[in-house]
Amino acid sequence: MKIRLTLLTASLLLAHQAMAKDVSLSTARDIANTTTPASESQAFDALENQSLAALRAALKGDGAKVERERLEKASQSAKQADTAWLKASGYDFKVKDNQQAGIELLSSFNKLPASELEANLNTVEKINLDATQGLRHQALADAEGISYLYFLSDALGPRLGKAFITAYDKGELGKAAALIKASEVSTGAAKKHFDYKRPFLIQGNTIHQVPDDVVVKDNKPYSAEGGSFPSGHTNTGYTDALLMAEMIPERFDSLVERGARYGYSRIVLGVHYPLDVMGSRMVAQRNVAHYLNDPRYRALFNEARDQLRVALEKECGTSLAECAKTVGKDDPYRDPAMKEFYRFTMSYDLPQQKGKAQPVKVPEGAEVLLEAALPNLSAAARRELMVKTALPDGYPLSGETADQNFWQRLNLSAAYATAHKAK
């Protein structure tokens, strides 16, 4: 045991030192591009095409083609999501309470200096203008697929990803589909509270609004309404990805990174700033941990998880562990570079305020987020991982309170990778 703890401590220190290296905007773009239809893997491209085709079929419904008017009203079908089961449970998600907690968590946004807000705009302009066609196509699919879970398939690898889409459309994942979507705490109240204009509405901006030639295929420039901070789509992406990661811990790292990748798509489209995405990551992490620590929610979660895992094994024709295995270059979300990309999305290279670092204090129960992925570690060891692999202090939104500082700096991807290196 002493040897194992020593190895873990040494690995933690090395990981913490490595995180000090920032990834450039261009490097992040190139990494993200490997997870688009521009991937060099035919198997991954086939999965992306299957996911997009399934999304378009769901959006089309009984119509002859995908109509833009249907997008705002789109939702999972009764076959896909067992909403009757969830409604019968009578569970209270306490949305307003959680929305207020999110507003408080992000309150440091109002104290950011003008220089950081300027850097925020400059960064979205650069990412948006330098985006590849593959990134833009993936961003459009991510945007219009917000009401469904198809986007999670590419983080599962070609084999499990295909099984996931099949099981989802057969209605075999109904409880998980219903619970995950119901767990998304709307950012609407926060958007009204902070009342920040989207980047393409700022006077003198250079944002390129991307024509839709992927989902609706009417070449209408993609746009968005309402406030910018925080990002509603990113909140959805992170919440869905993190809950799925808790249900399929065999793909924990890939799914967590898919949440980050989903947020990046919002910047590619020029409808959100880095701070919008960063703030939603914080809120989504907090909300998922909050729910998983509620015994009543946990009972529903366990029931949904068990149904999902049985269904996926059935579709795979083998164990979930076997079906989830990495398949070389056909599995870009398992490329080590995605760890660097995740680290990049925690700060987007925005200015770091130098000075005395605030110590990381793990909120009670936050370690639940690593419980499924690292079942052999004690709660104390998981908390230690969170502290040792945290993002360096001083980046925007790390704020002044212990909770703000923790949720901004929590690096789940690094914590998971560090624990596995120590084995």
Pairwise CA distance, residues 264 & 271, whole Å? 11
Q: Which residues neighbour 239 within 8 Å (Cβ) at sequence distance 6 or greater?
A: 180, 183, 184, 185, 259, 284, 287, 288
For 40-82, the pLDDT digits (tens) are: 899 999 999 999 999 999 999 988 999 998 888 899 999 999 9
Biggest CA pair distance of the chain: 65
- pLDDT of 92 over the 70 cut: yes
Output the pLDDT for position 150.
98
Identify the structural domains of the chain with CATH numbers, from first to last: 26-352 (1.20.144.10)
- Residue range 111-127: mean pLDDT, rounded: 97
- pLDDT of 17 over the 70 cut: no
The answer to whether residues 48 and 37 touch, using CB atoms and an 8 Å cutoff, is: yes
267: closest CA among 208, 197, 330, 317?
A: 208
The model's pTM: 0.94
Output the pLDDT for position 355.
76
Q: Which residues neighbour 56 within 8 Å (Cβ) at sequence distance 6 or greater?
A: 66, 215
Provide the 3-class DSSP secondary structure of residue 211.
Answer: strand
For 251-302, the pLDDT digits (tens) are: 999 999 999 999 999 999 999 999 999 999 999 999 999 999 999 999 999 9
For 181-224, the pLDDT digits (tens) are: 999 999 999 999 999 999 999 999 999 999 999 999 999 999 99
Pairwise CA distance, residues 340 & 325, whole Å? 21
Angle, helix 252-268 to helix 337-345, in steps of 10 degrees: 50
For 235-261, the pLDDT digits (tens) are: 999 999 999 999 999 999 999 999 999
Per-residue burial over 303-313, b = 16 or more CB atoms within 10 Å of its CB, e = otherwise: ebbebbbebbb
